[in-house]
Amino acid sequence: MIRRVLRLLAALPLFALAWTAPAVAQEVPTIAAAADLQFALTEVADQFTKDTGKTVKLSFGSSGNFHRQIKEGAPFEMYLSADEGYVLELAKDGLTQDEGTLYAVGRIVLIVPPGSPLKPDGSLKDLAAALEVGTVKKFAIANPEHAPYGRAARAALKTAGLWEKVEDKLVLGENVSQAAQYATTGSAAGGIIAYSLALSPKVSALGEFALIPAEWHDPLRQRMVLTKKAGDVTKAFYAYVQAPAARAVFKKYGFVLPGEM
């Protein structure tokens, strides 16, 4: 009897350990994505989850800031940049699995909120006239120092001969999504933002917009890549972004797609 009790007591710790050990939860991978993808990529990711049962976490911001963070060791498993140059630099530094692939080419628009002294004129002639008479006090773009859409906006303004006239009136967004917020919520008379953001129901409800000629700035060639940290879920998402369903979403948001240029 005593021996049987001792055997039962000896077995209890192992039994308790097996009973209480928590299951190891699979960590959701984080994807770094340019701010112009806020609506399009969110839609793609939601569909990815419905189709596969797998989940990714999206982090949106300026491509330049993500480039720096990845170089400093940030735990992003995939990077979708609005400027392919950032991806190619990371590949050269050996931080990615390869040089990635082009997933879209973006466009920029002039957007103006209700009550603005500006008209939604993609030629920027109305902006030029408003600057001459002093009715534009603030104008929003993304910061050209690290945001590709900010650089495209600056190039377009220079092409139109307006950069020097508008420079001291600029309200700079940390990324193009923040620039869109400034341009449509009364912080500025308008601004130059990503076409993909302007086409979203949330932003289009806040103002009118017009496309700026594509030849007024360098092409916004947007490239994505897997980092050396990428796991199986991220690799599946990377492939999914290149599939027809995802391409249809990008097209809906105004992107020019690889193979259709």
pLDDT tens, position by position, 85-137 = 999 999 999 999 999 999 999 999 999 999 999 999 999 999 999 999 999 99
The percent of residues above 70 in pLDDT, for the chain, comes to 90
Where residue 27 falls among pLDDT bands split at 50, 70, 90?
confident
Q: For 23-37, 58-72, 158-172, which range has the lowest pLDDT when averaged over its residues?
A: 23-37
Question: What average pLDDT is seen over the chain?
Answer: 91
- The whole-number pLDDT of residue 24 equals 39
Distance CA 158, CA 164 (A): 8
Tell me if domain 30-105+219-252 and domain 106-216 are identical in fold: yes
Domain range annotation of the chain: 30-105+219-252, 106-216
pLDDT (average), residues 179-193 = 95
- The whole-number pLDDT of residue 15 equals 31
The pTM is what? 0.88
Where residue 186 falls among pLDDT bands split at 50, 70, 90?
confident
- The whole-number pLDDT of residue 26 equals 61
- The whole-number pLDDT of residue 187 equals 87
pLDDT (average), residues 237-247 = 97
Return the structure tokens found at 125.
């002639």
22, β-bridge pairs: none
Nearest to 108 by CA among 229, 221, 249, 213: 213
Q: Among the residues of the chain, which ranges form H helices?
A: 2-20, 40-52, 63-71, 84-92, 125-133, 148-159, 163-166, 176-184, 195-198, 201-204, 232-241, 244-252
The percent of residues above 90 in pLDDT, for the chain, comes to 87
Indicate the CATH number for domain 30-105+219-252: 3.40.190.10
Identify whether the C-beta of residue 84 lies closer than 8 Å to the C-beta of residue 218. no
Where residue 21 falls among pLDDT bands split at 50, 70, 90?
very low
Distance CA 82, CA 90 (A): 14
Nearest to 235 by CA among 104, 97, 99, 103: 97
- CA distances 42 to 45, 63, 261, Å, are 5, 17, 24
Topology annotation, domain 106-216: D-Maltodextrin-Binding Protein; domain 2 (3.40.190)
Interstrand relation of 108-112 and 191-194 (parallel, antiparallel or unpaired): antiparallel
Distance CA 240, CA 185 (A): 35
Distance CA 147, CA 151 (A): 7
